[in-house]
Structures are given as C-alpha cells and as structure tokens.
C-alpha cells in the first residue's frame, strides 16, 4: 500500500495564452502611438490668424419669457412675435449654427404660445432651443 500513496494534487496553469495576449496589447499600443506621432510630424506650415477665437466658448443663450397671457419678453422687454422672429434671425446671424434659445413659459399659459416661439426658432434656423422648468420645491 505504501507504493500507491500519491502526493497532493498540483495543477499547472498554462500562462502562454495570457502572455501572447499581453504582447499583442503592447504591440497595439505601440503602433497606435506611432500613428499619432506621424500625424503631428507632417511637414506643414499652419496659417496664422491674429483675431482667431477658440471654438470652445459656449454660445450665448437667448432667453424668451412667456407670461400667463401669452405675451413674449426678450431681455426683460415686451416684444411682439414678429419682432421676436426678427431678433432671433439677427441672433442666429451673429452666432451661426451655435445659437441657443431658452424658452421660459408660465405654467398657466396656453401651449400654443410656446409652440409659436419654437416655430419662430425653426423658421430662422435655430435648432438648439429648450423649454425650462422650475426645480422641485422652488
């Protein structure tokens, strides 16, 4: 019986597949890093602009307020819908493709006034508009 005694069972973990994957990941990152270096090392001369402004600035928001009776206000002043559309057109021209409009409407006003303000935004090409709400408990 002494000859049949086996030692503790020891398992061998094959590490070769894990090492292969690790080498492939390292090679991938080395190649990717070389591509970005090559893009920046192209021999070009960039033009200079003395009045250039970075495009990271947030566009100025244009606020439209609608009271309970459906009257429109821009910059705190009463404005008719057609004049509002002209002002939105000017704002869109001053800030093309980046003008933002915030519509603040009284909860008791008819929805048609809000839709008319949204329609005015669409007419002048402003697609970045939103209707705001109050925070709960305010």
Q: Where are the domains of the chain?
A: 61-131
pLDDT, averaged across the chain: 81
Q: Give domain 61-131's CATH architecture.
A: 2-Layer Sandwich (3.30)
Task: Sheet with 100-105: list strands edge to edge.
Answer: 77-79, 72-74, 61-66, 100-105, 128-131
CA–CA separation, 132 and 74 (whole Å): 15
Say which residue, 3 or 109, is predicted with more confidence. Answer: 109
Q: Which candidate, 62, 63, 61, 72, places its Cα nearest to that of 112? A: 72
Q: Report pLDDT digits (tens) over 122-134.
A: 999 998 898 887 7
Q: What is the pLDDT of residue 5?
A: 58
- In the block, tokens 């606020």 appear at 63
Predicted model pTM? 0.57
pLDDT score for 122: 93
Extract the runs of DSSP E, i.e. beta strands, from 5-71: 61-66
**47-92: pLDDT as tens digits:** 666 666 655 556 678 899 998 899 999 888 899 999 999 999 999 8
């Amino acid at each position: 019986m002494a000859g049949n005694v086996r030692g503790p069972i020891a398992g061998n973990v094959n590490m070769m597949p894990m090492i292969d994957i690790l080498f492939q990941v390292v090679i991938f990152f080395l190649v990717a890093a070389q591509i970005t270096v090559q893009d920046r090392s192209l021999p070009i001369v960039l033009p200079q602009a003395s009045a250039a402004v970075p495009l990271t600035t947030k566009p100025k928001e244009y606020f439209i307020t609608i009271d309970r009776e459906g009257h429109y206000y821009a910059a705190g002043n009463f404005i008719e819908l057609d004049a509002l559309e002209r002002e939105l057109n000017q704002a869109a021209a001053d800030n093309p493709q980046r003008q933002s409009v915030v519509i603040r409407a009284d909860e008791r006003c008819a929805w048609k006034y809000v839709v008319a303000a949204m329609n005015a935004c669409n007419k002048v090409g402003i697609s970045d508009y939103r209707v705001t709400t109050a925070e709960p408990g305010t």
